[in-house]
Amino acid sequence: MESNMTNKSPDEKIMKPYLRKLLREHRALNRLIDTTKAIGASEDVKAMKRLRLRLKDKITALQRHYYRRGLPG
């Protein structure tokens, strides 16, 4: 009997963990932005928000590709 991992496509084996990693990074960046706002470092917050937006764009693009191909979430 084959395990579930052997039934997954190569895309699924690679993309799901990568998406989870990006989502964790995005959440961590959100927390860092909130903390940095509290101490009033506005230039740092602006830079982190730009980074967060690029990260979110990457997540969105990968999710669109991933779900468009019909792979399970």
Q: Please report whether residue 9 resides in a domain.
A: no
Q: Please report whether residue 49 resides in a domain.
A: yes
Domain total in the chain: 1
Contacts 24+ apart (CB under 8 A), 10-18: 11/66, 11/69, 11/71, 12/71, 12/72, 15/62, 15/65, 15/66, 15/71, 16/66, 18/62
Q: Please report whether residue 14 resides in a domain.
A: no
In this prediction, residue 16 carries a pLDDT of 85
Output Rg (C-alpha) for the chain, integer angstroms.
Answer: 16
In this prediction, residue 27 carries a pLDDT of 96
**Among the listed residues 7, 11, 27, the one whose alpha carbon sits nearest the alpha carbon of residue 63:** 11
Over residues 16-53, the pLDDT tens digits come to: 899 999 999 999 999 999 999 888 888 889 999 999 99
Q: Please report whether residue 32 resides in a domain.
A: yes
Q: What is the pTM of this model?
A: 0.71
Q: Please report whether residue 73 resides in a domain.
A: no
Q: Please report whether residue 10 resides in a domain.
A: no
Q: Identify the domain containing residue 39 by its residue range.
A: 19-68
Q: Please report whether residue 42 resides in a domain.
A: yes
- Cα distance between the two ends of the chain: 23
